[in-house]
Amino acid sequence: MILVLIETENGAASEISLETLAFARSLAAEGGGIAIRAVVVGAVENRDALAAELATHGAAEVHHAVGEAFTSYSGAAWAAALQAIRESTRSVVVTAPGSPRGNEVLAHLAARLDVPMAANATAFHGLAPFVVTRQVVGGAALEEMKLDQRPAIFTVAGHSWAVSPVEGASPAAWVEVAPEVAEADLVARVVSTGTKEVDHSDSLKSAKVVVGAGRGAGGPEGFGAVAELAELLGGAVGVSRVVTSLGWRPHHEQVGQTGSRISPDLYIPCGISGAIQHWAGCASSKTILAVNTDPEAPMMTKANYAVVGDMHEVLPAIIEELRSRGVSG
């Protein structure tokens, strides 16, 4: 039995939860058709819709943990619920999305059961021994890690598996459970939640053209031409993490492993070295045109097109050229 912790967003399973179910389905098939049980904790908006969705993605049953303990989040309490459900279902594998919550809850479970946990798996290799590949060094390297104790506990890195619904799945059975949670597991629980910041990153994720800038911009005032070119091309501005860490531009503009993943028709990274964590977020751009003073920068050697030069000279020249050709945004 494979147990999959599901996170919900506005009542539906989150994207990364569905990716995790897809990973679990491959694993289940490799094991000769092992059953998959989904676990949801706390309030559920529309039970029938969620049951149908999870069935479509491979869950045979949904175990729903209810009770006062789950009215606000506590990693330890969620792990207590998962532990109880894993015991009653005698599951040999427990997995969750490689999200902050998923990693936290499974780390609690692994500590309780005193077994290893692999965070952010991207693939598995056979079952005996059960070896997973996972992202380390912020995605710059991969680790093969053996999970030979039961239950095998791991989380699944986002974007590493494609969501794959099953045609004509029969509805998942809904099993409500009320696991006991010790007082100690509720000490570190959320006492209040602020309002969600408006997500400004949508326009970046859907833009057809993204003009990017990194440390090479030199400071918050170095983005004038970047923004102007983005506007001329009807696109968005995307930046490297250095830029957001230094407070030059807001976080919602960050592209990369810990920012947005973009897939525009054209990405123009200027003064961005192309570190693997940045590359992770822009690798699926159709065409990349890099502008950099250093022709050996990783971004310059990975791009389709490159201009060697100072972005503060190159960008204004491009803008002038476009205007002289009658491009006006």
Partner 1 sequence: MTNVLVCIKRVPDSSGEVLLTDDKQGVDGRYVGFTVSNHESCAVELAVQIAEATGGTVTLLTVGPSEATEQLRDTLALGCHAAVLVEAEPTRLGPADVAREIAHVVREKEAADTTYDLILLGNDAADSGDFQVGIRMAHALGRPVVNGVSTVEVADGNLTARGDGPDGEETYSLPLPAVATVLEGGVEPRYPTLRGRMAAKKVEIETRTLSAEPVGASRVQLLLPPPAPSTVEVLGEGPEAAGAVADLFAKLGVTR
Residue 310 near ligand FAD by CB under 6 A: yes
Three-state DSSP state, 140: coil
Token pair 């998942």 is found at 172
Nearer to partner 1, 33 or 325 (CB): 325
Restricting to residues 267-286, name those near ligand FAD by CB under 6 A.
Answer: 270-273, 275, 277-278, 281
CB of 21 to partner 1, least distance (A): 18
Mark 117-156 with x for binding to ligand FAD (rule: CB under 6 A) and - for no binding: ---------------------x------------------
How many residues of this chain bind ligand FAD (CB under 6 A)?
29
216 binds, among ligand FAD, partner 1, none (CB under 5 to 8 A by kind): ligand FAD
Cα–Cα–Cα angle for 97, 283, 259, rounded to 5 degrees:
50
CB of 60 to partner 1, least distance (A): 26
Structure tokens at 258: 């810990």
CB of 268 to partner 1, least distance (A): 9
**Would you mind telling me the total number of residues written for the chain in this entry?**
329
Mark 179-218 with x for binding to ligand FAD (rule: CB under 6 A) and - for no binding: -----------------------------------xxx--
The number of C-alpha atoms within 13 Å of 42 and in the hemisphere containing its C-beta is 17
Q: List all residues 6 or more positions away from 45 whose beta carbon is below 8 Å from its beta carbon.
A: 8, 10, 11
Q: Are 173 and 60 in contact (CB under 8 A)?
A: yes
CA nearest neighbour of 235 among 195, 200, 204, 272: 204
CB of 196 to ligand FAD, least distance (A): 21
Cα–Cα–Cα angle for 198, 203, 205, rounded to 5 degrees:
105
Token pair 């190159």 is found at 314
CB of 184 to partner 1, least distance (A): 7
Binding residues (CB under 6 A) for ligand FAD: these are 138, 214-216, 240-242, 254-259, 270-273, 275, 277-278, 281, 291-294, 297, 310-312
